[in-house]
Structure 1
Amino acid sequence: MSDLRGKTLFVTGASRGIGLAIALRAARDGANVAIVAKSGVPNPKLPGTIHTAAAEVDAAGGQGLALQCDIREEDQVQAAVAATVARFGGIDILVNNASAIWLKGALETPMKRFDLMQQVNSRGSFLCAQACLPHLLKAANPLILTLAPPITLDPKWWGPHTGYTLAKMGMSFVTLGLAAEFGPQGVGVNALWPRTAIATDALKMIPGMHAGGCRTPAIMADAAHAILVSPAREMTGRFLIDEAVLRERGVTAFEAYAVDPTQPLLPDLFLDDSELGSGVHA
């Protein structure tokens, strides 16, 4: 499969940032994209809504469907899945992009923030997969792609922000489990993580990060696209790094992805040297 024409994607957190970039890359192929996010009305602090994102999908050559949905709420997720199936006839791909972040230590993490991260990240990814899987299992080349890092138990990633690390590793463990359960049934279940920091609104939550040392969301969109056009039975149970995915497909020039090519790139969280060069198998 060389492109995503006619495929239906259910993308969470797709009103802006990496989620929107993935949606637009699929739209350029002529895909149907359900834009699933909470942002139904404009926010003065954050650009984009589900409606502007769906319009951008349409303009890019796809068909967008704006669905206001809080992925913490089971009834809302089920309703969003039902609306997607009613509009497009099924679901081929789930992209678990929605995520909450709070990079503080234990004493500086209110339980409200802790609960939000666990509910959105690991629980939300599991819930969206559970709701989409009955439809994915009917698809010709079903895939679940979750934006989560390679699994690590290294204390250096846990000590500074246990709550956030637990939430992101929860997404990774959900990927591991779903790949083991549904990979044999033909569903490709993988995780994708950026080698470098990505210039999104979430960047503002990371101390010491600045946009100049980041890449744009386009690199994650291109890497996700490369995964999503792969045979599901052959591409499953993998924890992949964006740059490595593209290098495996012959890309050698990455300067165009840099926000400022003159600045040194900032490595993203959770990556050790051994994980910067290639995809890591589950």
Structure 2
Amino acid sequence: MSDMNGKTVFITGASRGIGRAIALACAREGANVVIAAKSDQPHPKLPGTIHSVAEEVEAAGGRALPLVLDVRDEAAVKARIDEAGRYFGGIDKLVNNAGAIRLQGVEKLPAKRYDLMHQVNARAVFVCSQAALPWLRESDEGHILSLSPPINLAPKWFAQHGAYTTTKYAMTMLTMGMAEEFRSDGIAVNALWPKTLIATAAIEFEVGGPELMKQGRTPAIMADAALAILKRPADMMSGQAVVDEDLLRETGITDFDAYRYDASSDKPLLPDFFLD
């Protein structure tokens, strides 16, 4: 496994939730962490900004660079990635974590909401990866990691929210394609997805509310799995879409109770989308 100390990790959507957890996990390993997100000012309902996470990263032992970024803006993506590369002297890892969700069928989903999901999910993987590629080629441990699921074509995953499903699957298909395209460059490209619901703001405000979060795990499990992937050599793992618990079991972890969001809840954990 490679050493993350001194490596530079660029994370989109890193001001809260899974992105923040990955940022802190990398920081504890001594990494340079670029916290790229739209959250420059405090939100009345959602905790965390790029600046508060930057402070946490520094406290955890890493170096931080908070950058305001809307991943829908192609020019801004390139400018911010190049800024980060110049600041830290390179970029070794790109984590495509930013995401948008709306669980509606085609009939009632506004087209502008579909456009948002496409831009923040699928298109951002394309734009961010393309912009980061010159920097990743210069690294001896280049890696692109996107938070998207193994592709499951069972009709039930399309029936009620086909638009969201197709944008998340597009992320994984881009992952598969880039893994082959960039293999000769020594750049690993993989996707990661949670086995169970993860208690984040997206779940609380877009999916099921605070009660549903009791049936989930904390973002820490995704962070630990992401770190395990990012530390693997490019020739050891590329072109895979893996599930957090399955990957961590391979590393020898067998006790997952510590990841439970509400340890006092007797409700069963809910499997995440796209997993049978």
When normalised by structure 1's length, the TM-score is 0.94
Does the aligned pair in 1 maintain the 2:41–2:49 contact within 8 Å?
Answer: yes
Please name the residue that 1:66 is paired with: 66
Partner of 2:49: 49
The residue aligned with 1:129 is 129
Counterpart amino acid of residue 8 in structure 1 = T
Question: Aligned partners of 1:169, 1:58: CA distance in 2, in Å?
Answer: 34
Paired residue for 1:280?
Answer: none
What is residue 241 of structure 2 aligned with on the other side? Answer: 239
Q: Secondary structure at the match of 2:275?
A: coil
What letter corresponds to residue 207 of structure 2 in structure 1? I
In 2, the alpha carbon distance for the partners of 1:93 and 1:223 equals 15
- The secondary structure found in structure 1 opposite 2:166 is helix
- Which residues of structure 1 form unaligned runs of 5+? 273-282
For residue 200 of structure 2, what is the aligned residue in structure 1? 200
In the alignment, the residues of structure 2 paired with residue 143 and residue 149 of structure 1 have an alpha-carbon distance, to the nearest angstrom, of 18
Deviation at 1:162, TM superposition (A): 1.1
The alignment yields a C-alpha RMSD, in angstroms, of: 1.1
Question: Which 4+ stretches in 1 moved above 6 angstroms?
Answer: none
1:49-128 to 2 correspondences below 5 Å: 49-128=49-128
Cα deviation for residue 263 of structure 1 reads: 2.7
Q: Which residue in 1 is equivalent to 2:27?
A: 27
1:45-69 alpha-carbon deviations (Å, 9 max, x no partner)? 2111111111111111101101001
Partner of 2:175: 175
Which residue in 2 is equivalent to 1:9? 9
Question: Matches of 1:194 and 1:77 in 2, distance apart?
Answer: 26
Count of aligned pairs: 272
Query: How far, CA to CA, are the matches of 1:107 and 1:184 in structure 2?
Result: 44
What is the CA-CA distance between 1:43 and the residue it aligns to?
0.9
User: Are 1:38 and 2:69 an aligned pair?
Assistant: no
Over residues 200-246 of structure 1, what are the superposed CA-to-partner deviations in whole Å (9 max), with x where a residue is unaligned? 00112224871111000000000011111101111101111000111
Query: Distance in 2 between the 1:252 and 1:121 partners?
Result: 32
Q: Distance in 1 between matches of 2:208 and 2:184?
A: 41
Q: CA deviation at 1:185?
A: 2.2
- In the other structure, the counterpart of 2:161 is 161
Classify the secondary structure of the residue corresponding to 1:256.
helix
Q: Which amino acid aligns with 2:124?
A: G
- Kindly provide the amino acid, as one letter, of the partner of residue 153 in structure 1: L
Does structure 1 conserve the Cα–Cα contact (< 8 Å) formed by 2:25 and 2:224?
Answer: yes
Q: Percent identity?
A: 56
What letter is aligned with 1:143? H
Q: Is the counterpart of residue 221 in structure 1 residue 226 in structure 2?
A: no
Q: CA deviation at 1:260?
A: 2.5
State the Cα distance separating 1:153 from its structure 2 match: 1.9
Distance 2:3 2:156 in 1: 40
Corresponding letter in the other structure for 1:214: G
CA distance in 1, matches of 2:267, 2:89: 46
Whether the 8 Å CA contact 2:17–2:201 is kept in 1: the answer is yes
Name structure 2 gaps, 5 residues minimum.
none
